Amino acid sequence: MSQIHVTTKINGDTTEYLCDPEETLLDVLRDRLGLTGAKEGCGTGDCGACSVTVDGRLVCSCLMLGAEADGSEITTIEGMAEGEKLHPLQQKFLEHAALQCGICTPGILVAAKSLLEKNPSPTEEEARYWLAGNLCRCTGYDKIIRAVMDAAEEMRRAS
Amino acid sequence: MPLDDHTPDQTPGEARQFKVVGTRPLRPDGIDKVTGRARFGADMSAPGMLIGRVLRSPHAHARIRSIDTSKAEALSGVKAVVTRADFGPGDDDVADILDNCMAGEKALYDGHAIAAVAATSAAIARKALKLIDVDYEILPHVTDVDAAMKPDAPVLHEGLSDETVPEGVSQNVVHRVEFGHGDVEAGFAKADKVLERTFKTAATHQGYIEPHACLATMGADGIADLWVCTQGHYMVRNTCAAILGIDQGKLRVTASEIGGGFGGKTTVFLEPVALALSRKANRPVKMTMTREEVLRATGPTSSTSIDVKIGMNKDGKITAASADLRYQGGAYPGSPADMGSMTAFAPYDLENVKTVGWDVVTNRPKAAAYRAPGAPMAAFAVESVVDELAKGFGLDPLDVRLKNAAREGTKSSYGPTFPAIGLEATLQAAKDHPHWKAPLGPNQGRGVACGFWFNFGGDTCVSLNITPDGTVTLTEGNPDIGGSRASMSMMAAEELGIPYDQVRTVIADTGALGQNEVTDGSRVTFAVGLATIKAARNAKKVLCERAAMVWGIDPDAVEWVDGCARPAGDNAGKFPPMSLKEIAAIASNTGGPVAGHFEVNAEGAGVSFATHMVDTEVDPDTGAVKVVRYTVFQDAGKAVHPAYVEGQFQGGAVQGIGWALNEEYIYGEDGRLQNPGFLDYRIPVASDLPMIDTVILEIPNPGHPYGVRGVGETSIVPPLAAIANSVSEAAGVRMTSLPMSPPKVLAAIQAG
């Protein structure tokens, strides 16, 4: 089967690619575009390590076809910092030691940013439920939740 | 200069003032990991790279009559197909590992590798797998440990049992161990009450989020390179070299960033296969596992069946204790029944104690290490019986543990006599903590339990090099699985008296350093830290010599203070101090580059203890359990970076929560794994949990210059028991089988 031509905007840059019909958006990001920040932890939408946003909506990129992204705006972990300036969530994850191995970190940061865009003042319970689709096996989530709550507070103060 | 590697470093118990150690700086690899730049196993590519995939057995136990790969080889884009026939006999030491990586005469479990393909794309590789014809003779199988021990059980391997195994049990029992001292029968006779219970635990998986991945390049000349996510790239090198029949020095292995391991990445699965495919195709080959492959065909824990018998007096004194521990370790020998037997009663000072462990093979993937391998299941069984006896006498369970606690000078249940240990400190801290006195709500219960782990040292080799501008590169050989670069940089900075950010720690490939033991046994902060400190001391010795040369005085008359060489003794004050930067700048004129090295098989790791306290709430209508409060008390010796020590405590506790409440390998009647995915193999998620409070105790380890003990593994030992004790109180019925899933808890409530 011939490949499909797709035009998207990824982290603000217009990007074109050809992909096979069965290729996932995650495959395209990682294997065709060299954006390896999104990780494949399960391939079935259960772990959230591949989280990106598509037109502002949080998705598991392993559950979406690359061909479906035509005309969409995609943001990945690589688009989170502005140049050298880390997003407050990234900074707080470092300060709170909210990562150990770091494999889930990109997906959790993308998901947490999406949470704070929708709900700048989440309760701890809301943060825990929003991030329930992002598995972390190292931390027990304690420091992750603290980092998200701290970042939310700082972002509220700054706005 | 008075810097001798053999001078006592620190008097145990003496409070040393640290400048860097004990603070919480940002980790040096942090920015890479929050921006997506860090390169994990699957993130590497090579020009001309092929994709490798594995064909796996759908049968739990089958003889492989024949494999026909001709149709797969003929498919356009397929560059190599390998089966067991492509591997030589290999060394005896790695025979089981090879057989696990690529099946020989028999498929021994659902998911066992049968053949592998390298092709120009993943789609073509997948298609090629379907074109491989395997003729199987299906054999009867067994997956349960007690069933596998019966004399009439299906046998996996003929003649594998060693001389320790008595007559009358199945050949699936491959080894038996026994530990203890005293006379348990006499001890039981003296007890006011003797309680015996049987416990079962399901197999669980480490559940690291990063599936196994590697990129192999190997030519016909036997020169090879391997990029791989592993806990020990030296182990990968040595094992692959033995399997492929090449010299260790010909294979250079580079460890990627590692997305979790917890013991599961302490052996090889894909790596020899990727190298064999690369050798055959003469192209680089990348292989990654799917999550289904990770669960079906890597190294979960043992499932266990354990009997515990304890005699106790009315005052809480244990008179005797015994345990029979049956661990199935999958298709090959090596379950951690021995570790379970050694750790089971380690927290207690016992006059009469005996443990017997049974290593049993079944038609499951071979168990790998999982964080304190073998210990959590044994602790679950023992700590449940201690709890039931204590409560039966109306005694405080912490008091009973304090009364029987192992301390300095105790002859441990597995043999050695303990040096300074921290168990009593964790128990006392638990007793003094507000959590212990907090009120409980309806349907809630509170449980406590203790846990022990040995900790480990092992082969370690580091190199500390000072650059011409006076910054420091520390080169070490253990993958950073949870912040160890930060800890190493901190210890180097502490020792050299320079700022933390002046040290960069690099994880070298196998070509850059001598042998380094796997990142396991909670060894890295202890052993690599010890080697780092010693290497820094060696570098300081050279720095002092250089300053002495400049000043024209005896090197023994120079001391290193606060990052500077200073004239000492009679020469004190005669010359201004020379900083590390100043000495580094003139190194070329005073003898050449300055470095410090240290190589050791590190001993003195220092055993570790923890006490956990947990409140749970049980829904009497559904049997669902909610963890409402959790506190970890653990001895760290000295916490180098307290935030990452807390992280180890929290992470271990939550893995234990998963093991206790949700996680379980479920096999069907057909011997196939029924839940090979994160939807059905459910690890804890954020909304399941409360915050995990931690209390770090610091009882210095006399075997480390700064008193450090490993902290990574002990934290998973107490939670299974602590949660079972809590749930048993909340539900009003003793829970003896894990996981305590809602149907099981509900059935127990209804039966109780």
Which residues, other chains included, contact B416 with Cβ-Cβ below 8 Å and sequence gap of 6+?
none
Domain end call among A29, A48, A79: A79
Q: How far is CA B112 from CA B293, B365, B476, B485, B656, in A?
A: 9, 7, 35, 36, 28
Query: For B477-516, b where at least 16 C-beta lie within 10 A, e where not — what string?
Result: bbbbbbbbbbbbbbbbbbbbbbebebbbbbbbbbeebebb
Going by CATH, does the domain composed of B43-140+208-297 fall within 3.40.50.2300?
Answer: no
- Give dist(CA B495, CA B335) in Å, integer: 41
Q: Is B82 left (phi over 0), alpha (psi -120 to 50) or beta?
A: beta
Q: Indicate the residue among A79, A113, A129 that finishes a domain.
A: A79
Coil vs helix vs strand at B369:
coil
- Measuring CA to CA, which residue among B22, B25, B694, B39 is closest to residue A94? B25
Nearest-by-CA chain A residue for B677: A42
CA distance B101 to B90: 12
Whether the per-residue pLDDT at A159 is higher than 90: the answer is no
pLDDT score recorded for residue B286: 98
Distances (CA, A) of B738 to B301, B323, B735: 13, 18, 8
- Please give the CATH architecture assigned to the domain spanning B457-602: 2-Layer Sandwich (3.30)
How do residues B536-581 score in pLDDT, each as one tens digit? 999 999 999 999 999 999 999 999 999 999 999 888 999 999 999 9
Partner-chain residue, chosen from A36, A47, A96, that has the shortest CB–CB distance to B678:
A47
pLDDT at residue number B89 = 84
Which of B361, B375, B251, B274 lies closest to B42 in space, CA to CA?
B274
Q: What's the token pair of residue B400?
A: 């009973």
Strands B578-579, B608-618: pairing kind:
unpaired
Report the pLDDT averaged over residues B414-431.
96
CA distance B691 to chain A (A): 5
Kindly give, in sequence order, each residue whose CB lies less than 8 Å from that of residue B437, ignoring residues fewer than 6 positions away.
none
Residues A108 and A134 in one domain: yes
Q: How confident is the model at residue B2 (pLDDT cuts 50, 70, 90)?
A: very low
Q: Is the pLDDT of residue B320 over 60?
A: yes
Indicate which of B27, B32, B34 best probes the interface with A, i.e. most A CBs within 10 Å of its own CB.
B34
Task: Assess contact for B80 and B218: CB atoms under 8 A.
Answer: no
Q: Is the pLDDT of residue B88 over 50?
A: yes
Element containing residue B582 per DSSP (H, E)? helix B580-585
What rounded mean pLDDT belongs to chain B? 96
| Chain-chain contact of A137 with B655 (C-beta, under 8 angstroms) | yes
User: Which string of DSSP letters, residue by residue, matches B151-188?
Assistant: TTSPPSSTT---TTSPTTS-TTEEEEEEEEES-HHHHH
Q: Do A106 and A72 share a structural domain?
A: no
Tokens of A144: 């992750």
How large a percentage of chain B has pLDDT more than 90? 96
Domain locations in chain B? 43-140+208-297, 423-447+607-752, 457-602
Contacts of A40 in chain B (CB under 8 A): 42, 211, 288
Residue B404 to residue B408: CA distance in whole angstroms: 13
Supply the CATH number for residue A129's domain: 1.10.150.120
Taking the CB of residue B569, how many other CB atoms lie within 10 A of it? 12
Structure confidence at residue B16 as a pLDDT band (50, 70, 90): confident
pLDDT of residue B220: 85
CA B33 to chain CA centroid, nearest Å: 22
Q: Map residue B545 onto helix, strand or coil.
A: helix
Whether B520 shows a pLDDT value over 60: the answer reads yes
Residues facing B616 on adjacent strands: B445, B627
Q: Considering its fold, how many domains does chain A have in total? A: 2
Whether residues A144 and A94 fall in one domain: yes
> Mean pLDDT over residues B409-415, rounded?
97
CB B724 within 8 A of CB B740: yes
Phi then psi dihedrals of residue B751, to 5 deg: -80, -30
Enumerate the residues of chain A whose CB falls inside 8 A of the CB of residue B34.
Answer: 86, 90, 93-94, 99, 102, 105-106, 109
Whether residue A41 sits in one domain with residue A98:
no
Residue A30 is encoded by which pair of tokens?
């990682």
CA gap B200, B51 in Å, rounded: 41
Task: Name every residue whose Cβ is closer than 8 Å to that of residue A153 and which is 6 or more positions away in sequence.
Answer: none
Nearest to B551 by CA among B539, B564, B538, B563: B564
The domain of A149 spans 88-158
Cβ count within 10 A of residue B575:
17
The DSSP code for B86 is: G
Does residue A55 sit in the same domain as residue A36? yes
- The predicted model gives B316-338 an average pLDDT of 98
A contacts of B207 (beta carbons < 8 Å)? 135, 137
Q: Which of B34, B291, B654 sits opposite A90 (nearest CB)?
A: B34
β partners of residue B68:
B133
- Cβ-defined contacts of A153-157 (< 8 Å, 24+): A154/A88, A154/A92, A155/A88, A155/A116, A155/A120, A156/A120, A156/A121
Residues A86-97, mean pLDDT to the nearest whole number? 98
Residues of chain B with C-beta less than 8 angstroms from the C-beta of A78: 35-36
**Would the ipTM clear 0.95, i.e. be above it?**
yes
CATH number of the domain to which A42 belongs: 3.10.20.30
Q: Closest Cα partner for A53 from A136, A125, A135, A109?
A: A109
Kindly tell me if the per-residue pLDDT of B3 is higher than 50.
no
Do A100 and A136 fall into the same domain? Answer: yes
The three-state DSSP-derived secondary structure of B341-356 is HHHCCCCECCCCEEEE
A14 and A56 in a single domain? The answer is yes
- The reply to whether domains B423-447+607-752 and B457-602 share a CATH topology is yes
Assess whether pLDDT exceeds 90 at residue B160: yes
Tell me the C-alpha to C-alpha distance, in Å, between residue B743 and each of B288, B463, B664.
36, 55, 13
Pair of tokens at residue B456: 């480990």
Q: pLDDT tens digit string along B434-493?
A: 999 999 999 999 999 999 999 999 999 999 999 999 999 999 999 999 999 999 999 999
Q: Do B234 and B477 form a contact (C-beta atoms < 8 A)?
A: yes
The alpha carbons of chain A give a radius of gyration, in whole angstroms, of 16
Q: What is the pLDDT of residue B15?
A: 66
Chain A: closest CA distance from residue B370 (Å): 13
pLDDT band, very low/low/confident/very high, at B136 (cuts 50, 70, 90): very high
Please name the fold of domain B423-447+607-752. Aldehyde Oxidoreductase; domain 4 (3.30.365)
Q: Do A36 and B260 touch (CB under 8 A)?
A: no
Q: What is the pLDDT of residue B684?
A: 98
Q: Residue B151 pLDDT more than 80?
A: yes
Q: Are A119 and A148 in contact (CB under 8 A)?
A: no
- Inspect the interface and report whether the beta carbons of A100 and B42 lie closer than 8 Å: no
CB B682 within 8 A of CB B663: yes
Judged by DSSP in three states, B227 sits in strand
Whether residues B262 and A94 touch (CB distance < 8 A) is answered with no
pLDDT beyond 50 at A130: yes
Confidence class for position A1, pLDDT limits 50, 70, 90: low
Whether A97 and A73 share a structural domain: no
Which residues, at least 6 apart from B592, have a Cβ–Cβ distance to it below 8 Å? none
Choose one of A79, A96, A111: the last residue of a domain: A79
Q: How confident is the model at residue B4 (pLDDT cuts 50, 70, 90)?
A: very low
Q: What is the pLDDT of residue B687?
A: 98
A52 and A92 fall within a common domain? no
Question: How far away is chain B from the Cα of A159, in angstroms, using its nearest Cα?
Answer: 23
* Interface touch A131/B686, C-beta < 8 Å: yes
Verify that A47 and A100 share a domain, yes or no: no
Interface-testing mutation among A36, A40, A142, A149, with chain B (most B C-beta atoms within 10 A): A142
Share of chain A above pLDDT 70, in %: 99
Residue B6: its pLDDT value, please?
36
For the stretch B616-635, pLDDT in tens is: 999 999 999 999 999 999 99
The pLDDT, as a whole number, for residue B12 is: 46
Distance from CA of A59 to the nearest CA of B (A): 17
